[in-house]
Structure 1
Amino acid sequence: MSQSNSVGLIDLQIMWNRLIAVVEEQAQTLMRTAFSPIVRECGDLSAGVFDLEGRMLAQAVTGTPGHVNSMAESVKHFLRYFPIETMRAGDAYITNDPWMGTGHLNDFVITTPAFRNGKLVALFSCTSHLMDIGGIGFGPDATDVFMEGLYIPMLKLFDQGKVNETLMSMIRANTRLPVDTEGDVYSLAGCNDVGARRLVEMMDEFGIDSLDELGDHIIARSREAVLEEIAKLPKGTWHNAMTIDGYDEPLTLKATLTISDTGIHVDYSGTSAVSGRGINVPHAYTTAYTVFGLGCVVATHIPNNAGSLEPLTVSAPADTILNAPKPSAVASRHIIGQMLPDVTFGCLRQIVPDRVPAEGTSCLWNLNVRGHVKGGEGGNYGFGMAITSNGGTGARQDKDGLSATAYPSGVRGTPVEIAETQTPLIFWRKEFRPDSGGAGRTRGGLGQIMEIESGIAEPFDLLAAFDRIDHPPRGRDGGRDGEAGFVALKSGKTLKGKGFQLIPPGDRLVVMTPGGAGIGKPAERDRVQVASDLADGLISAETAEKVYEFKPQKAAE
């Protein structure tokens, strides 16, 4: 891009980096002030700044792909409902519409106009997961979206600084956790205000009156950079399919990936139809995780914004599980949506195998728990929590997979201390699951084993939303599959991978998360690495001998 007449390229780059710092402070503010542990401890959020056309100029490093990339589309919807010329200082807008937000009702999106010297200069938007918004709860049992909780259309939350008390009263009245839910709403609004203040400071410092030139620079350079990377790839079309557990029957996800001079397009024709339960995925969330998967391989070092996203496009036929129409139930859309990077990787490994990992657990193995303890007016009604956890990621070409790591989601695991503080549950066990990582020249990451019991002699609810139980991650090039997931009671009863189940007092919930798949023949694995895995308890002596053909005495020789 040629040098601007008004602002030099170096200044533009400095301001671009500063803009990323602004939205990172926005995200960190949200984390510090959030009430829900899944946000405060685990980072299940997104934050970004947008120009007056609704183009995302910068996103915070802290956040999840499903939130960030779907939030990027939600701002355009806000602009349709609240045109620029109607916005005033102190306004803020809210929705949790799954088809105009981030895919399910538990995510609130708030967008706030930022003014400088009385002139509208930008929009700040943020998202976070709220633990309870009424209805059937955060699980896949509902048969339509109206069963799943409070549905907030596009509404004004603040009008020139004055809160919409009627809306806040409705929000408080429709949740089992009114204290947490109200606090999270103000946290979202507050972080946007911090972002807006920092943006004004930046514009004052650099002496600019609008973000038009900076925005055009960011978007043009990012688009060019992604297209340059795509130009290095062969042109053509590739296919992949993956079978996963589904709710009560297996589902197939099919992808056709096409690389052209104008970008990469992924089409999901042939994918299974809409489900009767809450595992359906709105198209915005399908797009969010698909383009994230593409970006991980094609545009690793390019900042995420409207320009870098533009060459990456996605389509899915209507009424398929990846383009579910309203009023489909969508509460657990992450179970399937987070599989999509692996689906696209299956196409990309036919083109650039060295850049692409084997299949991993992918979908979060959150322990969605709920209980009824004393509470009521002025407080919460019982407890509810999504205790974030995961299995292993797939092996990489020259490195093992990561153990107990939430990829592609990116959220951190909930610390046991936080879970035991926020709920009356006791974690008796939380450790790596030996032999769960698929064997190979490079090994899949390990899953984990957890045992949880009620500490108050009362049962608790498990709103199970797990996958990879019947269809574990698949190995490649001779690598073994990752170990399948498993859910049961300590007393011996096997539990379902999806759906509401009661965990009785005096018994323990046992959860074994899946392992990632391996790459290459196990016998080709470096003997020192096998010995190290054995010494660390990551594999058993039997696996070392029978799968890896490892003889300790020979290693010593």
Structure 2
Amino acid sequence: MWDRLIAVVEEQAQALLRTAFSTIVREAGDLSAGVFDLEGRMLAQAVTGTPGHVNSMAESVKHFIDIFPVETMKEGDHYITNDPWRGTGHLNDFVVTTPAFHNGRMVGLFSCTSHLIDIGGIGFGPDGHDVFAEGLSIPFLKLCDQGTMNETLMAMIRANTRLSVETEGDVYSLVACNEIGAKRLSEMMGEYGLTTLDALASHICDASRAAALERIAALPKGTTRNSMTIDGLDKPVDLVAALTVAEDGIHVDYDGTSGTAKKGINVPLAYTRAYTAFGLMAALAKGIPNNAGSLSVWHIDAPDGCILNAPRGLPVSSRHIIGQMLPDVMFGCLEPLIPEVVPAEGTSCLWNVTLRGQARKDNLGRHGFAVTITTNGGTGARPNNDGLSATAFPSGVKGSPVEIMEQAAPVVVWKKELRDGSGGAGKYRGGDGQVIEIENRFGQSMELLAAFDRIDHPPRGRAGGGNGACGTVALSDGRKLKGKGTQEIPAGQRLCIQTPGGGGFGKPVAGAAE
């Protein structure tokens, strides 16, 4: 039954991947999908998807059923939100939750998330002074009532995006994704003669929790600490963590972390918990399913008002810049406990190239173009192997194909190659970053909504390994660009990017090539 449930949620995710309009979803896999019981516990997640989406979505379903009790849900209903604090961390992520029925009886829920390229406002960048400037905000609403779409809500969504066709299409892809999951779940239950998921859900959660606690019990009790400094916006940001191993699980406290920023690199606590839990799962829970049971052993908190627990209303559009650093922070805490397991630091946060050009409305209702090209740097070297080059960790998304991006935006990608030697030296080398050159063929200036880090503070090596190379952002005429904020790329100019390399692991072997 467990294997079949995994197959169900993976088909759910593939339906979203294959029907999405956003290039960042259909080409890079920036999504999540999962099945939940009637209590809102995530039972299984699809392999396709990102930890930030999956682990924050795991909590968002409970918010849906608090507002829309399960006894009021009908077959054909769908619910939606993009609430950053009770969803997946910023407005560009739409979460759709759908009740699943078998033989006329509600048996569970399916939920999914995808990243939409444009939802109005200032766009997908860190320039906003508050969340209200960052785009359209959708509270928890009923999107579809027993098969009838909420046309008023759909009209509001279309009217508040520069890409009305793509955005509307993405909403329908989220609905279709959950409907596929619900259909396959009913088929599975019929084959196994199940009338409810209650017994299966309890077994999954109890077994997963017990397995995670068993791994934690093998660790020495006590508290370890780690800190990391990254570029931030107008000043560096310190990420400070204390990790305590206890009987009931692992407790993480981010006390000492920098306060909130004036612009949109702040992180809602839901996203902080999502990537912190992923780092702990990756290091300690290999082979254990990621669900409500295993996630319950991680107790994660951050002080009110710190950058990892941003109060409601602050700008959070680029929360991934900091949130995706947290697995590395956890690895630093775990190094004294499991020194031969955790890797060196990597690029960590995605180097997404978000480009936008304004033009007159076309015959599809689009106002210019907006596109996000997913790129990444090198991962940290491992205790027994080199790091991976040009690989997104911890997000797991794929790089955007050049051919697709050149069709989606008026650009030419002249160069996309490994940045040889950018990985840190060591017994095992860090993974290399990339060298990328993108020419503006728009005929006028286009905007770069920059959201990059590790330009001033490189990924650090571990156990005597060298640091990875810092990233750079510039134009082909030699002008350096800032790592964050909206800037112009003149017509005919090339955007020249070098993404960071990962840190090395262990002291370099004497006589070995560096």
TM superposition score category, shorter chain reference = over 0.9
Distance 1:241 1:417 in 2: 40
Alignment of 1:172-183 (within 5 A): 172-183=158-169
1:158 equivalent in alignment to 2:137 = no
1:290 matched residue in structure 2: 276
Distance 1:493 1:208 in 2: 65
Q: What's the CA shift string for 1:519-545, capped at 9, x where partnerless?
A: 1222347x4xx3xxxxxxxxxxxxxxx
Instruction: Give secondary structure in 1 for the equivalent of 2:361.
Output: coil
Q: What's the CA shift string for 1:412-450, capped at 9, x where partnerless?
A: 000111111111100111111122100111000000011
Q: What's the CA shift string for 1:194-220, capped at 9, x where partnerless?
A: 000000000000001000000000001
Q: What's the CA shift string for 1:439-463, capped at 9, x where partnerless?
A: 1110000000111111232221100
1:342 matched residue in structure 2: 328
For 2:2, the aligned partner's letter is W
2:343–2:462 Cα contact (<8 Å) kept: no
Distance 2:180 2:508 in 1: 52
Cα deviation for residue 320 of structure 1 reads 0.5
Cα deviation for residue 375 of structure 1 reads 3.4
Cα deviation for residue 379 of structure 1 reads 3.1
Alignment of 1:101-500 (within 5 A): 101-376=87-362, 378-500=364-486
1:46–1:128 Cα contact (<8 Å) kept: yes
Distance 1:49 1:520 in 2: 42
Distance 2:365 2:436 in 1: 30
Distance 1:80 1:106 in 2: 23
Percent identity, aligned pairs only, is 67
Alignment of 1:24-103 (within 5 A): 24-103=10-89
Cα deviation for residue 377 of structure 1 reads 5.0
Distance 2:191 2:241 in 1: 48
Which range moves more in the overlay, 496-505 or 468-477? Answer: 468-477
For 2:500, the aligned partner's letter is P
Q: What root-mean-square deviation, in Å, do the aligned CA atoms of Structure 1 and Structure 2 show?
A: 0.9
1:24–1:61 Cα contact (<8 Å) kept: yes
Q: What's the CA shift string for 1:61-104, capped at 9, x where partnerless?
A: 10000000000000000011100111111110000000110000
1:361–1:390 Cα contact (<8 Å) kept: yes
Distance 2:198 2:205 in 1: 11
Which range moves more in the overlay, 367-376 or 169-178? Answer: 367-376
For 2:7, the aligned partner's letter is A
Instruction: Give secondary structure in 2 for the equivalent of 1:372.
Output: strand
Q: What's the CA shift string for 1:451-487, capped at 9, x where partnerless?
A: 1111232221100000000101111222111000100
For 2:285, the aligned partner's letter is A
Distance 1:430 1:244 in 2: 26
Q: What's the CA shift string for 1:338-372, capped at 9, x where partnerless?
A: 00000010010111011100000000000011112
Distance 2:492 2:143 in 1: 45
Alignment gaps of 5+ in structure 1: 1-14, 531-547, 549-557
2:77–2:142 Cα contact (<8 Å) kept: yes
Instruction: Give secondary structure in 1 for the equivalent of 2:294.
Output: helix
For 1:502, the aligned partner's letter is E
Bigger Rg, structure 1 or 2: 1
For 2:49, the aligned partner's letter is G
Cα deviation for residue 381 of structure 1 reads 1.5
Distance 2:146 2:510 in 1: 66
Instruction: Give secondary structure in 2 for the equivalent of 1:355.
Output: coil
Q: What's the CA shift string for 1:219-272, capped at 9, x where partnerless?
A: 010001111111111111000000010011001000000001111111100000
Under a length normalisation based on structure 1, what TM-score does the superposition of the two structures give? Answer: 0.91
1:281–1:323 Cα contact (<8 Å) kept: yes
Distance 2:509 2:101 in 1: 63
Distance 2:9 2:262 in 1: 38
1:354–1:397 Cα contact (<8 Å) kept: yes
Alignment of 1:505-520 (within 5 A): 505-520=491-506
Cα deviation for residue 374 of structure 1 reads 4.6
2:82–2:95 Cα contact (<8 Å) kept: yes
1:503 matched residue in structure 2: 489
2:435–2:498 Cα contact (<8 Å) kept: yes
1:440–1:524 Cα contact (<8 Å) kept: no
For 1:270, the aligned partner's letter is G
Distance 2:414 2:101 in 1: 52
2:472–2:499 Cα contact (<8 Å) kept: yes
For 1:185, the aligned partner's letter is V
Instruction: Give secondary structure in 1 for the equivalent of 2:167.
Output: helix
